[in-house]
Structure 1
Amino acid sequence: MITEKTKEQEMLVKVIRDFAKQEIAPVIDQYVHNGEFPTEIIQKLGELGVFGIQYPEEYGGMGEGMVCFSNVLEELARVDASVAAIVMANSSPLTILSKFGSEEQKNKWLAPIIAGKGIASIGLTEASGGSDASAMKTKAIKKENGWMINGNKLFITNSGNELNKFSVIAAATGTENGKKQTSSFIIPRETPGYVVGPKIHTIGWQAADSRELTFEDANIPDEYLVGEQGTGVKQLLTSITYGRISIAACAVGVAQGAYEEALEYAKIREAFGHQISKFQGISFKIADMATKIESARLLVHKAALLADKDEDFRKESSMAKLYATEMAMSVVQDSIQIHGGIGLSKEHRVSKMLGDAKLLEIVEGTSEIQRLTISKLVGC
């Protein structure tokens, strides 16, 4: 299942690796300290074409697929999970538009974001529902020549910064055969009744921007409905399944960064007259970290490759997300253990990674949801 990168893909990954080291690493802590969104960094990534890696060339994308995109996300998360999360979250609404949007929607909304002219957000999660899409309370009522939307969305990444152009949101649109009908809508940022709440401060992804969105009689035209009415669940599940690969790739990146920090520290820290890397208790821990990371990377690669071949990748996507995120949490904890007291300092990278890893375990479906999904797909 392993495929070699093309020369173009290798070049792109190297460009992003160098960019992360030179453009992100030296300044990202300033954004976190000042509570600012890393606008310049995201704009530069847009100019590099990162937003269009996996999307068709006819809309300005590179057409490289999920294997390449997951490699890029790993490189970004290796240096900072916030930036990787912003890029990942931006891909979710773009995936829906790419897979289900009309030609007009793709040209009007998808192509400009691919070209780096802003970012987008996706609105699914609600305070009362969490992973239960059937509990959605946001409603879209059909009006003459359009829709009126009312409701709230919570923890919506990319929704409150100056680069945001629109959100793709899920809303209930009545019932069909006794079941709640869900549809997806494009809601431009400037829509009257589109209210953006204050930034939600989380334990990880601290430079990212997550908010509550409130829709108060927000009226949009018919052409902002994505696909057919009532097909929202299929669209959202497709986006989530792709998103789980992206989250898993970010987890591999976070773990790789934590592992490299631990290995470097273990080689320079001395105790009892020896480098601590020479102690079996430390060297075995580092060996386990390296093995877990490589295992997770292979799971991500398999899921991404199946997605690129247009085969069923739901099981592999959930497996990659489950294993990689729990692995990242384990590796970061081990890295902190190796660092000892200095690893507990808020100023040290590995302490920040702990919050980043925990968020990765939760978003796009918790570990419990992944186990539920996998158990069904293997026939339980």
Structure 2
Amino acid sequence: MNMTRIQTASPEAVYIHIPFCTNKCHYCDFNSYVLKGQPVMDYLAALEREMERTALVTPPGEIDTIFVGGGTPTVLLPEQMAVFLRMVETYFPNRSEAFEFTMEANPGTTDAEKLAAMKEGGVNRISFGVQSFDPSLLTAIGRIHDVDDVYRSIANARAAGFGNLSIDLMFGLPGQTVETLNRSIDAALALDLQHYSIYGLKVEENTLFHKLYQRNELPLPSEDDEVEMYALIMRRLREAGYGQYEISNFARPGCESRHNITYWRNRSYYGLGAGAHGYHGGERHVNIKGIQPYIDATQNGLPRMEQFAVSREEAMEDFMMVGLRMLDGVDAAEFARQFDGAALEEVFAPVLSSLTERGLLVRSDSGGYRLSEGGIMVGNEIFGAFVGYFA
């Protein structure tokens, strides 16, 4: 069972990292750097070198999704944005009929000129990092936009012809209550968007919030309040007609994030840019994180910080951990397809039996397994049951 599983087909999904931000939010541990003084055009030139080499090493076929994350990609100036999107078109030109091209954006960073450049460059979906509609909370978590910026940005995007919009919200924030969250949900639903991502705060190392937490100066909601917040989110979004297709994501029918589904189905994807992760041919890689080190590394080859083979057992564990995040669960036929005919129920019999008996997993219509209603509330415990299963 120590064989490396090889994915031979070219990835159909592309992730590209733009690491620049206007400022660093108090909770953020992403690979991002304050924009001022950064060599943006040098970075874009380095990104083009990585794209060119990647396309030579692993020639792309038909691309189904592209996702540009950060950082805040929309801090690029309109002319920089146009240069960047022309590069993407050059190296990943062959696109599926239902092609999805998402760009993350911060409210207040998308004026009409920039949106026009994005539209012309093929972007057809925007994900805005809103986080809250409570002005005091936005300040407390280090966001520099205000609520008016949110409304203006959504209106500008719609005026520019974007019909597939998403926003991120957060819960479990310092000082947040069930009532203040409910008001944010009211405001979010009033926008009548196609998609909502709603995440619980994680206090990550190397963030201001982690320092405050260690000093007992971070007034987080109680665990009971967090559970109530999550239950409220699920109820409100479902009542408003949004399907919960993943534990933190809700969409109108047909508007699910197809790019993120690539990750949750444990499928391969290109990862480009400083600190980006990629997965293909039974290998994962992580790129060099620093801006100048990344730029320098692309002069001599692919800018890898780390590259390692994923064993068949690890890939099976990953399949379960990420696949069970989807509310339709893991599919037995897909498991067999990815793992040379292996039977899901035989490979994971003890843990599946235990979780099913506890009422946390149920059999799905596809013959696989999915989270029960109760299981959704303790998802991390269930995903953790597959970590190191073969160790």
TM-score normalised according to structure 2 size: 0.24
Q: Point out the structure with the larger helix share.
A: 1
